[in-house]
Amino acid sequence: MRPIPIITALITVAILFLLVFQREALRDFVGLGNASEAVVSEGEPAPAERDPGTVARVEVTAMVSRAQDIDTGVIVRGETEAKRAVTLVSETSGRVAVQPSAKGSEVAQGDVVCELDPGTREVSISQAEAQVAEAEKNLAAAEALSEDGFASETRVLSARAAYQSATAALEQAKSALDDTEIRAPFAGVIDGDVPEVGTLLQPGGTCARIVQLNPMKLIGYVPELDVARIEPGAQVGARLATGEQMIGTLTYVGRSADPVTRTFLVEAEVANDDLSIRSGQTVEMLIASAGRAAHLVPQSALTLNDAGDLGVRSVGDDDVTAFLPVEIVRDSTDGVWVAGLPDEVAVIVVGQDYVKDGVPLDVQYRESGS
């Protein structure tokens, strides 16, 4: 057995043991234990000479922002809807005698849309008028005889009742004749088909559907978080899917929420003189609300705290970091408008993600517009 390899292995194990487990003792043995501690950078004070109260400050860039009053609005997506719509039906039976107005045509209030054949209704009026005349003469005669004492009060009452009955029959006959002319209750447009001449309409039969498109009604639903910010009379800007824009007025804000979506119905009206806006079109509305104070800050300045709240980091008292929560009001091309900050605040715009509350700062300020 050769002893040299065994001795070499033992020496190698011993050296590895000293390097791994007895490194400090080995350094002291060769005289290197205090060498690193003795090295001090030129011009740097020794550890014993440093001021223990000195704290390193983090360099950041901040901008001083002052609150401004801005106009705010609530964006609502909805659709257009006819201001009024009614289906005209017949109250009597009869055949259509005159061709009704064509669908899509405009009608004014009181225009005849469907005219039915009067039949014997005109004869009934003549008969009723004759009965009224006869009853009137009988009543006059009875009253004259009663004054002379030749007729009883009962006869007078009977003659008066006959006269009133004849008068009522005449009014009923005239009303029946009027029912043959189905008129538009308001100005609008005939929407849908109309019956042809000769069509027999029964009571309840459809004559036409009329919709009022001027002014046009806009409807939408506002979230419950925004409904308190708007009220009737507010100005409304609207834009159709086609790109057409218009200005109107908010006319109604719902008082009860939809049980499913928890949103509130709102209605606005816009002028539609040329009837270019059709009912059922998609529309986006911007409803003006009360102005509020807000700050314009770069969007990159927004950050989150440990709790997940959105806000900005500001320069607080004694140049230390302070987190301030904010509420986004609206976006703009120059940044984002936020509320919830003091009237004047120094917002950190560079380095805000590398500091926490209470960290001392070395602040450099820049102009708010740069």
CATH number at residue 318: 2.40.420.20
Q: What is the dihedral of CA 217, 220, 225, 227, to 10 degrees?
A: 20
Do both 255 and 280 map to the same domain? yes
* Residue 141 belongs to a domain: yes
pLDDT (0 to 100) of residue 48 = 45
In a domain, 196, yes or no: no
Residue 131 has pLDDT above 80, yes or no: yes
215 and 252 share a domain? yes
The pTM assigned to this predicted structure is 0.56
pLDDT at 99: 84
Structure tokens at 60: 């950041």
| CA-based R_g, the chain, Å | 46
Strands (DSSP E) found in 13-142: 58-66, 68-89, 94-98, 106-107, 112-116
| Dihedral, CA of residue 147, residue 151, residue 154 and residue 158, to nearest 10 | -90
Residue 249 lies in domain: 75-82+209-290
Residue 370: pLDDT over 70 = no
Q: Where a domain ends, among 238, 265, 290?
A: 290
Mean pLDDT of 224-252: 91
pLDDT for the residue numbered 25: 67
- Choice between 121 and 24, residue whose per-residue pLDDT is larger: 121
Q: Please check whether residue 108 lies inside any domain of the structure.
A: no
Report the pLDDT value the prediction gives residue 188, as an integer from 0 to 100. 92
Sort strands 188-190 and 181-183 into parallel, antiparallel or unpaired: unpaired
Residues in CB range of 91: below 8 A, 6 or more apart: 179, 203
**Domains held by the chain: number:** 4
- Give the mean pLDDT of the chain: 85
Do 335 and 284 lie in one domain? The reply is: no
Q: What is the mean pLDDT of residues 281-295?
A: 88
How many whole angstroms separate alpha carbon 276 and alpha carbon 243? 13
Q: What is the pLDDT of residues 14-70, one digit of tens each?
A: 777 766 666 666 666 655 555 444 444 444 444 444 455 556 788 999 999 999 888
Lowest model confidence (mean pLDDT) among 54-58, 254-258, 345-349: 54-58
pLDDT in tens, 154-178: 887 888 898 899 899 899 888 888 8
Bond preceding residue 52 cis, omega within 30 of 0: no
Q: How far apart are the C-alpha atoms of 120 and 114, rounded to whole Å?
A: 18
Predicted confidence at residue 40, as pLDDT, reads 42
pLDDT value at residue 35:
46
Q: Give the residue among 225, 285, 282, 277 at the shortest CA–CA distance from 252.
A: 285
Asked if residue 297 and residue 324 are part of one domain, the reply reads yes
pLDDT at 298 over 80: yes
Q: 17 in the Ramachandran plot: left (φ > 0), alpha (ψ -120 to 50) or beta?
A: alpha
